[in-house]
């Protein structure tokens, strides 16, 4: 449920927005008090930028005691036993898992980790002070959304507005809230996790209104396997030369405003030659809390859009690429009913409405891609509805997206008062965009 700008501020004054990155090896948590300009990131060690919380869960064998993060690692090292890792991916591939001869739902274990991790925030913002949580994950596909929704059910936090976004969209919102001089030209983010390098290039089409933002993802050949990160001079040189070759290829013939280097793989400062090249006519930033901060910004911009956020639309793989509506008559005059808006996440795309049919049994939807090309109309025929026998019929329509390219419509005949009762008919239609 989305709140209006004024009601959200009044209802949640003094509360916090949480940006929660669910990575593969770690999680990060940022928080922002409503009314403050910038989020802060939770550090596991006071006074230091120790943002990564190990994404692990451990159950003590002889007791029903669970531990997470660094404490879980320590307990497993002391006592042995099974350490549960990569819980989100585990929940996507198996419904259940066995721990110490007991069977648990994997989604329930994921929710247990998340709920326990909120205790790290207890001195800053206890759960009762959470107004909203934005979880950000990699590859926010249909199956992942289903898993996250089940996780939210297990969390049992009905008073909190909980949403999801992909890491690429978190990057978009983080970038949107930096100084505009940092993104006069495309921006590139390099993420290094262990020996896996991925880049995200953000570009803007400034000729459209709102301005369309695209992010191109690129994965590179794996770097040589090392223990955590390169430590010897030879290992550092090999990695530096390889990274330098990649960034030179990426930058060739382009003007890039800013480069971000994030991820645990950039620990050890092995990239001296690469950084010298990147810093020539570009701003370069090193850090690892970009996604969780971007999630905070994204939550607030979605709940209470401002002039800045309304001027841009991000079109990622999980976004609806077209506006969908109907041309109809309202109070005797031609009108347009907006059904689903392009640019929003497919899993947030839903609308219900009633309408009266008085001439034929057809609905005509207008599909307008955001690039303005290939506008089309699609017709839905309500077979069996005989309007020649009754002068009016009220129908109830529910629409939602099953994925980023498939729209589902459910339609019920509601009749028209006591004189023209409902026939009980029901229709379903699937539309490929």
pLDDT in tens, 82-117: 899 989 999 999 999 988 888 999 999 999 999 999
CA proximity to 325, closest of 373, 367, 357, 289: 367
pLDDT (0 to 100) of residue 6: 56
Indicate whether 307 belongs to any domain: no
Query: 53: buried, middle or exposed (CB in 10 Å: 19+, 13-18, 0-12)?
Result: buried
For residue 3, pLDDT over 70 is answered with: no
Indicate whether 300 belongs to any domain: no
Same structural domain, 384 and 428: yes
Same structural domain, 129 and 194: no
Q: What is the CATH number of the domain that holds 220?
A: 3.30.420
For residue 2, pLDDT over 80 is answered with: no
Same structural domain, 337 and 405: yes
Average pLDDT over residues 21-35: 94
Q: What is the CATH number of the domain that holds 157?
A: 3.30.420.40
pLDDT in tens, 364-422: 999 998 877 889 999 999 988 877 666 678 899 999 999 888 999 999 998 877 777 88
Indicate whether 420 belongs to any domain: yes
- Domain hosting residue 189, numbered range: 171-292
Residue 9 CB neighbour total at 10 angstroms: 15
pLDDT (0 to 100) of residue 305: 84
pLDDT in tens, 239-265: 999 999 999 999 999 999 999 999 989
Indicate whether 417 belongs to any domain: yes
Domain end call among 292, 313, 331: 292
d(CA 203, CA 411): 40
Q: Is the bond into 210 cis (omega within 30 degrees of 0)?
A: yes
Same structural domain, 12 and 67: yes
- 392-406 exposure pattern, b = at least 16 Cβ within 10 A, e = fewer: ebbbebebbbeebee
pLDDT in tens, 284-327: 999 889 999 999 999 999 888 888 888 998 999 889 989 999 99
Structure token pair of residue 418? 């006591």
For residue 175, pLDDT over 80 is answered with: yes
């Amino acid at each position: 449920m989305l709140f209006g700008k004024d009601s959200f501020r009044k209802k949640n004054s003094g509360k916090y927005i949480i940006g929660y990155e669910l990575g593969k090896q770690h999680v990060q948590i940022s928080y922002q008090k409503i009314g403050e300009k910038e989020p802060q990131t939770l550090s596991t060690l006071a006074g230091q930028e120790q943002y990564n919380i190990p994404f692990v869960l451990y159950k003590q064998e002889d007791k029903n005691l669970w531990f997470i993060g660094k404490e879980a690692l320590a307990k497993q090292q002391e006592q042995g036993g099974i350490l549960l890792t990569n819980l989100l991916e585990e929940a996507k591939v198996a419904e259940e898992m066995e721990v110490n001869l007991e069977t648990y739902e994997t989604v329930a274990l994921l929710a247990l980790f998340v709920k326990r991790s909120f205790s790290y925030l207890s001195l800053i913002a206890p759960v009762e002070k959470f107004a909203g949580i934005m979880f950000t994950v990699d590859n926010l596909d249909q199956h992942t959304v289903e898993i996250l929704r089940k996780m939210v059910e297990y969390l049992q936090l009905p008073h909190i507005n909980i949403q999801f976004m992909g890491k690429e969209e978190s990057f978009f919102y983080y970038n949107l809230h930096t100084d505009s001089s940092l993104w006069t030209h495309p921006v590139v983010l390099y993420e290094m996790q262990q020996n896996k390098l991925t880049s995200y290039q953000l570009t803007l089409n400034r000729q459209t209104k709102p301005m369309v933002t695209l992010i191109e993802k690129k994965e590179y050949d794996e770097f040589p396997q090392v223990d955590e990160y390169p430590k010897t001079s030879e290992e550092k040189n090999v990695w530096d030369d390889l990274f330098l070759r990649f960034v030179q290829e990426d930058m060739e013939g382009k003007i890039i405003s800013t480069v971000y280097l994030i991820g645990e793989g950039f620990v050890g400062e092995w990239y001296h030659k690469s950084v010298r090249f990147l810093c020539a006519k570009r701003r370069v930033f090193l850090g690892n809390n970009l996604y969780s901060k971007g999630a905070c910004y994204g939550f607030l911009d979605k709940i209470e859009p401002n002039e800045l956020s309304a001027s841009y639309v991000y079109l990622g793989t999980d976004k609806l690429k077209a506006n969908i509506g109907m041309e109809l008559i309202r109070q005797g005059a031609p009108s347009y009913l907006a059904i689903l808006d392009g640019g929003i996440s497919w899993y947030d795309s839903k609308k219900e409405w009633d309408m009266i049919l008085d001439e034929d049994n057809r609905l005509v939807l207008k599909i307008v891609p955001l690039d303005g090309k290939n506008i089309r109309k699609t017709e839905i025929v309500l077979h069996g509805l005989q309007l020649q026998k009754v002068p009016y019929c009220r129908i109830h329509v529910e629409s939602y997206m099953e994925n980023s390219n498939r729209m589902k419509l459910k339609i019920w005949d509601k009749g028209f008062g006591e004189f023209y009762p409902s026939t009980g008919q029901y229709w379903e239609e699937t539309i490929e965009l």
